[in-house]
Amino acid sequence: MLNVALPKGRLGNKVYNMLEAIGYECKEIMEDSRKLIFINENTGVKYFLVKPSDVAIYVEYGAADIGFVGKDILLEQSSDVYELLDLGLGKCKMAVASINDFRDDPKRPLRVATKFPNIARGYYDTKNREIEIIKLSGSIEIAPVLGLSDVIVDIVETGKTLIENGLSVVEDIVPISARMIANKSSYKFKEKEIEKIVTELKKGEYK
Ligand code: PRP
C-alpha cells in the first residue's frame, strides 16, 4: 500500500487527477463528503486529505510515503524529506513588497510582516539587514498600508492582491511551485514504486 498525503483544495484535486491518470485511481475521493482517508485496495493506494501546510509533516514522520506540497512550505518548515519532482503547478514567487513609495531607513530594524518568518529571516540574514518579524496568518498586504510593518514577505502569483492594495514588489526572493516529496525511509523501501510515479508524472503533459 502506498500512502499519499494530498493537500486539500485545488492543488490536491489537480494532483489526484494526475495520479489517477497514471493508475492510482480512487474515485471516491471526488465525491462530495467529509471523509479524509480514501483507500483503493485494487490499485494499492491510500490517500489522506490534509491541510496544505501539514503535508510535509505527515511525510517527514512517515505517516505518508509521498506527498505534494508548495516549495514555500518546504522552505519555511525546512522539512527533512526528499524532494523528488517539480510539478510545475502553482507557479508563483516569494517576494518582498511594500507601499509604492516605500524607502528603507537603514538606521532602524526593518519591520517585516509575514506568514513565512523563517524564509524572511533567512533572506534578510544573507543581506545582513536587521529585521523585526511580525507574524501574521493571512491578508498580509494590509500590514504596510496600516503602518503595522514596513514591508511584507509573501507569495505573489498574479500580483493582483498587491496592485489592488496599493503595493508593489520591492525584491524577488525565490520562485515557488508544487513539489512531490517522499519520506526518507519509505523511499528506501519503496524506491521502485516511488520512482515509477516520478517517471510517469514527468512524462505527462500536466504543466
Ligand atoms: C496568497 C498570498 C497573497 C495572494 C497572492 O494569499 O498570501 O495574498 O495569494 O495572489 P495574487 O498575486 O494572485 O493576488 P491566499 O489566497 O493564500 O490567502 P491569505 O491571505 O489568507 O494567505
Average pLDDT over residues 54-65: 98
Residue with CA at minimum distance from ligand 1 atom 19 = 138
- pLDDT in the model for residue 30: 85
Who lines ligand 1 at CB under 6 A?
138-141, 154-161
CA atoms 49, 72, 181, 196: torsion sign = positive
Average pLDDT over residues 65-94: 97
Q: Which residues contact 34 (CB under 8 A, 6 or more apart)?
A: none
Classify 185 as helix, strand or coil: helix
Ligand 1 atom nearest residue 115's Cα: 22
State the distance from the centre of ligand 1 to the C-alpha of 47, rounded, in angstroms. Answer: 27
Q: Which residues contact 14 (CB under 8 A, 6 or more apart)?
A: 89, 206
- pLDDT in the model for residue 205: 58
- pLDDT in the model for residue 36: 95
Average pLDDT over residues 38-66: 96
Assign 206 a pLDDT band (cuts: 50, 70, 90). low
The label of the residue with cell 533572506 reads: 123
Ligand 1 atom nearest residue 159's Cα: 12
Give the tens place of pLDDT for each residue, 26-49.
Answer: 989 988 889 999 999 999 999 999
Q: Buried b vs exposed e over 125-137: b needs ≥16 C-beta within 10 Å?
A: eeeeeebebbebe
Report whether pLDDT(207) > 80. no
Q: Which cell numbers hold the place of 149?
A: 510593518
Ligand 1 atom nearest residue 155's Cα: 2
Assign 204 a pLDDT band (cuts: 50, 70, 90). confident
For 100-194, list the strands marked E by DSSP. 110-114, 131-135, 151-156, 167-176, 178-182
Report whether pLDDT(12) > 60. yes
